[in-house]
Amino acid sequence: MNVPNLASGKAEHIATDRDSLSPVLARFARSLWPWSERRLAVLVCCLAALDYMSTVAFLNLSGSKGAYEAGILASRALERGGLGGLLFNDVAAVGLLLVAAGGVRNICLKKGELSGFSHAAFVLMLLPYAAAAAAAIANNLVIACI
């Protein structure tokens, strides 16, 4: 009796779907961030530093005794360790995010069939943080000047 091997057909179907999705996702990621991953990592580090500096400026220059850090983890770090605790928290968070994004990127590159996803994974992990940090910087500067 000849039994068809459904498992191999399913794997071929999944591989075909992944192969057809890879160029689309790569083009999408390149449209979001057309430059190198290194530039994005540098941007994230610079935005994190500016976020810290704008937070310090906001807390010191706002003149309001009710000024506070809105982020839960950052607020706790500021309460427990002052500005040094906040700096440690920011460095640890950005470092962890960069290591995670780089790790996922490297895993995708080492797996030949996932290499098309490497840039997309890196960009889609770091770009939301960069956008949120830029918004936080603008918010801190506007509130500090009001």
Rounded distance between C-alpha atoms, residue 126 and residue 93, angstroms: 12
Using alpha carbons, select from 100, 64, 69, 66 the residue that is nearest to residue 85.
69
Domain limits, the chain: 6-145
pLDDT at 130: 98
Q: What is the pLDDT along the chain (146 residues), one digit of tens a residue?
A: 555 555 555 555 455 555 677 888 889 999 999 999 999 999 999 999 999 999 988 888 776 677 778 889 988 999 999 999 999 999 999 999 999 999 999 999 998 878 889 999 999 999 999 999 999 999 988 887 77
Q: State which amino acid sits at residue 54.
A: S
Torsion of CA 3, 4, 10, 13, to 10 degrees: 180
User: Can you read off the two tokens belonging to residue 39?
Assistant: 């530039």
User: Can you read off the two tokens belonging to residue 146?
Assistant: 């009001």
Q: What is the pTM of this model?
A: 0.82
Torsion of CA 70, 134, 125, 112, to 10 degrees: -170
DSSP 22-78: HHHHHHHHHHH--S-HHHHHHHHHHHHHHHHHHHHHHHHHS--TT----SHHHHHHH
